[in-house]
Amino acid sequence: MSDTTIREYVSTDRRRESADETATERETEAETERQVCPECGGSLVTDEARGETVCGDCGLVVETDAVDRGPEWRAFDSSERDSKSRVGAPTTRMMHDKGLSTNIGWQNKDAYGNSLSARQREQMQRLRTWNERFRTRNSKERNLKQALGEIDRMASALGLPENVRETASVIYRRALDDDLLPGRSIEGVATASLYAAARQAGTPRSLDELKTVSRVDKMELTRTYRYIVRELKLEIEPADPEQYVPRFASELDLSDEAERQAHTLLRGAKEAGIHSGKSPVGLAAAAVYAAALLTNEKVTQSQVSEVASISEVTIRNRYKELLEVDDAGLFA
């Protein structure tokens, strides 16, 4: 190949690159122009009710008769919306197949609500069996299905919200993908994932509370939790005692004033530095009990102990320290 031909190829490639860059710049400029008012340069706002795009500053109507990409039907309650919707449930990490597989219902009825015959019921049962087998095709999916079921069961028993369950499912999936399960039980890793997710979401539960709903003991739970946090490099802050106060106050039916007083006591303890090295659950329980005393509300140590799963001795020791700090602050 001659030098002239090589120079022609290089020149052609450069022209193509220049043309591509020019086209990209034009597309960017056009997109910017579509987002800015042509008159005053203000930001554009889409009015979906009228199908118009108007300027939020000067009121210029830039575009009319926009296409409504929503459904053509209306619904006035959740049941009507569900019955008219033509799509399935959204994908979720809380199911081993992310909710994308087919699920055959348990009702032995046809589309018109009529009962199936004996032979048809037998066929449907066989279909359910094979469908269940195909949903878990290998050991990894069976492992994931069992673990996510455990996470959902424990989260329901502890009253944790859906975002915590989703986060726990993601943590368990990461542990499974990184081969952290060999030598550890499925229940242990699932419980540790839920404990970490609850702390990340700011709705922590104590180890004693998790122990009551889990099938593993406290020592295995703490060991597995430390291992997962270290291997997955999870960023989890130390539990704040104030995060436990709203739940304890709600279960004890305390007033808002008592809850605010408990928060005040815990903030004073942080400033004095007496919270270091002490159980956050114990401090929160003691603050709730001390706040109830200060607001003249009838709550016994045994009631607080039962709600917080903390011994009465711990509550007695901690609440005296909190009151001493509070008195020192008042007379300082």
Question: Side chain identity at 326, as an amino acid letter?
Answer: D
Question: Side chain identity at 307, as an amino acid letter?
Answer: V
Neighbours of 297 (CB within 10 A): 15
For residues 137 and 150, is the Cβ–Cβ distance under 8 A?
Answer: no
The response to whether 37 counts as a known ligand-binding position is yes
The full DSSP string for 303-317 is HHHHHHT--HHHHHH
Who contacts 135 (Cβ-Cβ below 8 Å, separation ≥6)? 96, 97, 101, 141, 145
Question: Side chain identity at 200, as an amino acid letter?
Answer: Q
Q: What are phi and psi of 36, to 5 degrees?
A: -120, 140
Distance CA 283, CA 300 (A): 16
The response to whether 311 counts as a known ligand-binding position is no
Strand segments, DSSP code E, in the chain are: 44-47, 52-55, 61-63
The response to whether 206 counts as a known ligand-binding position is no
The response to whether 55 counts as a known ligand-binding position is yes
For residues 228 and 170, is the Cβ–Cβ distance under 8 A?
Answer: no
Binding residues for Zn(2+): 37, 40, 55, 58
Annotated binding site: 37, 40, 55, 58
